[in-house]
Amino acid sequence: MITESFVIPDAANILQAAARINPFVNRTPVLTCHAVDRMLGARVFMKCENFQKVGAFKARGATNAVLSLDQQLLRNGVATHSSGNHAQALAWAASLAGAKAHIVMPSDSSKVKVAAVKDYGGIITFCEPNLDSRESTLERVIGETGATEIHPYNNVNIIAGQATAALEFFEDAPGLDILMTPVGGGGLLSGTCLSAHYFHPSTKVVAGEPEQANDAWQSFTQKHLIPSVSPDTIADGLRTSLGSITFPIILQHVHAIVTVREESIIKAMRFLWERMKILVEPSSAVPFAALMEGKLDIAGKNIGIILSGGNVDLDNLPWSHHE
Amino acid sequence: MITESFVIPDAANILQAAARINPFVNRTPVLTCHAVDRMLGARVFMKCENFQKVGAFKARGATNAVLSLDQQLLRNGVATHSSGNHAQALAWAASLAGAKAHIVMPSDSSKVKVAAVKDYGGIITFCEPNLDSRESTLERVIGETGATEIHPYNNVNIIAGQATAALEFFEDAPGLDILMTPVGGGGLLSGTCLSAHYFHPSTKVVAGEPEQANDAWQSFTQKHLIPSVSPDTIADGLRTSLGSITFPIILQHVHAIVTVREESIIKAMRFLWERMKILVEPSSAVPFAALMEGKLDIAGKNIGIILSGGNVDLDNLPWSHHE
């Protein structure tokens, strides 16, 4: 078990996380497409975490974090505030251990997401839709229940869990020159670059980020953590700020962060649906959008992309509004 | 090579087809979902032929049929009439062999499908949108070019090619009690039940068919071939009649054909998109719709479903019209 003082997961932590979560999570497939390879002049491999439990890679970190707790802690349950995939993932992971998951959700959360958290057995407390209310409500819930907070990304067990996607990817795709993920809070990105560093150091890790939520790019470029202020992107999973644990890992091990336009995200998402039949959410399409924009020198290279999730509202698709 | 007089593919023909097409087609993944298993009280395995080349299982049969031709025949190309996935599949398969594909398409074919056939290098001849015109135009094209007709399903090499999906499925999913496919012309269904018969005889093959295009169910029940007359279903791949080769195979080897309502097809399709993130076309959702309707006794059993394809018009989704 990783303790609080042990801030950066090491290789053993990631391998332990993989062993711990493997009975519960899906080994997601890696898909390829000749049309993509021809279009980009590279070999592109996509690891489909949209087919992961709860529809997103978040199941990995949440499972590792929950199953890393001892029985005594589990008795009081776990808690987080989230309106996104982490809420579902934590509710689902807690149910595996027979533990309670207290989820603080803003009152304007989509009905679909609230229903999904309830489906997985999560106990929801609603709060005002702002960060202050989310944090104070979570503090109150933790005070009342004694639950252990599981932060969506700024948590070493979460990071070690997310790192297992890259671990599988290195096994299933040949010699990746570049491995791409989107970046929001940096849980997937920091885990991915740690896995590359420990297990496949010839792979350069590159993140894709929306131009209109480019706090990670700014932080990376200016080498100090700049919070996300009024992000305005369809990629709803990428609106958060980096964390005190994820940022230093990213700064040390990530090769580059590239930003993309909103219209490119929608175009890339539609391409993945239409041509590859892979149903992804906007955040997942960001790295592929960067390739379509020609932001990277990839000629002749092997490029891996982790497609992070597939939770979308089918009654509200982005191209319905853009024609 | 299978000759005309050799009407039913044998086990060797199917194994040869697999060896012939394996370098070119995708080994499609088998996905599962606990929510589905819980809902249905069975273990359900889905083989995702929507991730196949050209987005449908049709790539298998077309590749086997084209690559079974000798160089002299290939010089004059291949030909078919089709407004659906077979048109794309044949154009793509011919391009693998450097051969021409002459595709007769009705003048009211969707722009998307016409563009896809052109993308794969198909040579399109338009005709009136009725069967007489399709057949007479194809006859003329064949007369002018000397091309070999590759029928979309009533062709032993096509059937042997489609049979390879089940072959892979038996390897990748444990002891299937029931294996389901949709049925239109019967190419996939006849290939699947032959593979079960030769390679995994404990598996019962069951087809799903739209109630509003139930000619296969009628033919199966009455034991003589009844053509499809004015089929009215959203499952556009399943509007065709069975063939003189596919029907006897189906009659002999299929366990049951079950029919489903239109609203169930749409509901099943949406479930596969929303919960499993698998982008399928309406035809593919028909077997799953039969399970959701409770049409089969599946309690505690292992059920395989071949999801046949994923070619849809994203600007015209069925649930947009049903709210």
Same domain flag for B96 and B162: no
Contacts of B279 in chain A (CB under 8 A): 273, 277-279
The residue among A119, A149, A179 that closes a domain is A149
Domain that holds residue B141: 59-149
Does the pLDDT of residue B1 top 70, yes or no?
A: no
Per-residue pLDDT, averaged over B290-295, amounts to: 96
Q: Mark whether A258 and A247 lie in a shared domain.
A: yes
Other CB atoms within a 10 A radius of the CB of residue A1 amount to 11
Strand partners, B260: B210
Look at residue A323 and tell me whether its pLDDT is greater than 70. Answer: no
Please check whether residue B246 lies inside any domain of the structure. yes
Instruction: Note whether A274 contacts B314, CB cutoff 8 Å.
Output: yes
Contact B50 A277 (CB under 8 A): yes
Q: Are A171 and A70 contained in the same domain?
A: no
Q: Do B279 and A279 touch (CB under 8 A)?
A: yes
Q: Residue B320: pLDDT band by 50, 70, 90 thresholds? A: confident
Taking one residue from A and the other from B, the number of pairs with CB-CB distance under 8 angstroms is 46
What digits encode the pLDDT tens for the residues B262-274?
999 999 999 999 9
Residue keyed to tokens 């309830």:
A118
Cβ <8 Å between B279 and A273: yes
User: CA separation (Å) from A184 to A227, A238, A270, A286?
Assistant: 11, 4, 21, 11
A43 found inside a domain: yes
Summarised one tens digit per residue, pLDDT across range A219-257 is 999 999 999 998 999 999 999 999 999 999 999 999 999
Number of residues that this document lists for chain B: 323
Note whether A317 contacts B: Cβ–Cβ < 8 A.
yes
Q: Which of A34, A270, A279 sits opposite B277 (nearest CB)?
A: A279
> What pLDDT, in 10s, does the model give residues B206-262?
999 999 999 999 999 999 999 999 899 999 999 999 999 999 999 999 999 999 999
- Please tell me if residue B303 touches chain A, with a CB cutoff of 8 Å: no
Smallest CA–CA distance from A307 into chain B, residue: B277
Band (A305; pLDDT cuts 50, 70, 90): very high
Co-location of B311 and B213 in the same domain: yes
The answer to whether position B84 is within a domain reads yes
- Predicted confidence at residue B112, as pLDDT, reads 82
What pLDDT score was predicted for residue A6? 52
How many Å apart are CA A250 and CA B111, to the nearest integer? 46
Specify the pLDDT at position A320.
77
Q: Identify the pLDDT of residue A322.
A: 45
pLDDT band at B314 (very low <50, low <70, confident <90, very high): very high
Token code pair at residue B11:
């086990």
Which of B125, B149, B173 terminates a domain? The answer is B149
Q: Tell me, yes or no, whether A225 and A83 share the same domain.
A: no
Same structural domain, B23 and B87: no
At A70-81, the pLDDT tens digits run 999 999 999 999
A319 and B315 in contact by Cβ < 8 A? yes
Number of folded domains that form chain B: 2
Note whether A175 and A129 are same-domain residues: no
Nearest to A309 by CA among A281, A272, A285: A281
**Is residue A47 a part of any domain in this protein?**
yes
Do residues A189 and A283 both lie within one domain?
yes
Residue A4 lies in a domain: no
Q: Is residue B5 part of a domain?
A: no
Q: For B273, which of A51, A53, A314 is closest by C-beta distance?
A: A314
Q: Establish if A1 belongs to a structural domain.
A: no
Tens digits of residue pLDDT in A112-130: 889 999 999 999 999 998 8
ipTM of this complex prediction, to 2 decimal places: 0.92
B6 pLDDT above the threshold of 60: no
CATH of residue B137: 3.40.50.1100
Please indicate, yes or no, if residue B1 is contained in any of the structural domains: no
Domain edge (last residue) among A124, A149, A174: A149
* pLDDT score of A1: 47
Rounded distance between C-alpha atoms, residue B134 and residue B126, angstroms: 9
Q: Are residues A137 and A223 in the same domain?
A: no
A273 vs B contacts (CB less than 8 Å): 279, 314
Separation in Å, CA A214 to CA A217, A238, A260 = 5, 9, 9
Any chain A CB within 8 A of the CB of B115? Answer: no
- Residue B96 tokens read as 């693998």
Q: What global pTM score does this model have?
A: 0.93
Are B161 and B263 in the same domain?
yes
Is-contact A53 A24, C-beta < 8 A? Answer: yes
Look at residue A206 and tell me whether its pLDDT is greater than 50. yes
pLDDT in tens, B118-144: 999 999 999 998 889 999 999 999 999
Strand pairing report for B30-31 and B43-48: antiparallel
Rounded to a whole number of angstroms, the distance from the CA of B244 to the nearest CA of chain A is 33
Same domain? For B225 and B101 the reply is: no
The verdict on A127 and A49 lying in the same domain is no
The alpha carbon of residue A16 is apart from the nearest alpha carbon of chain B, in Å, by 25
Measuring CA to CA, how many Å separate B219 from each of B151, B242, B244? Answer: 21, 9, 12
In whole angstroms, give the CA distance from residue B119 to residue B140: 24
Predicted pLDDT at B321: 56
